[in-house]
Amino acid sequence: MDPSCSQCIKGTVHAGQPLGTEEKIHGLDTYVIGNRTNPRAIIVVYSDIFGLALPNNKLIADAYAKSGEYLVYLPDFFEGDPVRLKFADVAIPVDAAKQSTFAKYTGLLSEMPALVKWFMRHKDGPTNKVCMDFLQALRRATPKSQKIGMVGFCWGGRYALRAGLESNMIEMEGKKVPLVDAVVALHPSNLAFPGDVEDVVVPTTYGWGLEDTSVKIEQKGKVEELHAKAKNAGKKLPETVHKIYKPGRHGFAVRGNPDDPQERACLEDSVTQVLDWFKRWL
């Protein structure tokens, strides 16, 4: 664990240390946990920008695998280059009430040069390819009888949504199939409208934070408007469900304050949202 992250293991309701292992799966280092023998389905997790370095992301994967039904993959889509954990303590502190405005903005200022360089190294085109290449390989290697679900958090939410688009379907045995069978997107950032949400072909559920200052709640309305227009034009869309979390500050599904009843509820309910959705569709 990176000693620079003073609260890495905090901000999660999932106690203890991660129980899975890291292995090479379809070309990417991947945290693996769950049923390897006869899983009900496979769950792929695309984390926030802190990737495998943030234990919370692994603990969430452990929570999905706890029932023994699923095989869970948390790939390192950042290929060994996640955002530094120092930025997590500044941008999404576990207890925001204890962070002064001065500390927040001086911290953000000091981390900004490194963050800008990171964004330059992780432009959308190459980033998208890494994700879709992994999913294509996984889909081709997975028996037709076994379904795949994908959940994305923040940065990863966009790519989880794309996995469920018609434009990313692949041909297998003369038939077009989606890369995944169901999608969950929690506080998905950097969405491009209409491209990231318009041509969805698999059941999808979103989780939005009412007080999220990074992923505005107004984006929920944009998604709903686009889908309503598509339906009015005669397009048949799969089921889509939106859930709003209160207070739902940014990162509510990964790094909230478990000592705050409302934030703890966000952490717990977001796990329930994922598992309930996959129970229906996988």
Q: What is the pLDDT along the chain (282 residues), one digit of tens a residue?
A: 333 333 333 455 556 799 999 999 999 999 999 999 999 999 999 999 999 999 999 999 999 999 999 999 999 999 999 998 776 666 666 556 665 775 665 756 666 788 889 989 999 999 999 999 999 999 999 999 999 999 999 999 999 999 999 999 999 999 999 999 999 999 999 999 999 999 999 999 999 999 999 999 999 999 999 999 999 999 999 999 999 999 999 899 998 888 889 999 999 999 999 999 999 999
CB-CB neighbours of 231 under 10 Å: 11
Dihedrals φ, ψ of 206, to 5°?
-115, 150
∠ CA(221), CA(227), CA(233), 5° rounding?
A: 135
Distance between CA atoms of residues 151 and 248, nearest Å: 18
Distance between CA atoms of residues 136 and 196, nearest Å: 18
Instruction: Give this prediction's pTM.
Output: 0.90
Following CA atoms 53, 184, 245, 74 in sequence, which dihedral angle do they give, to the nearest 10 degrees?
-10
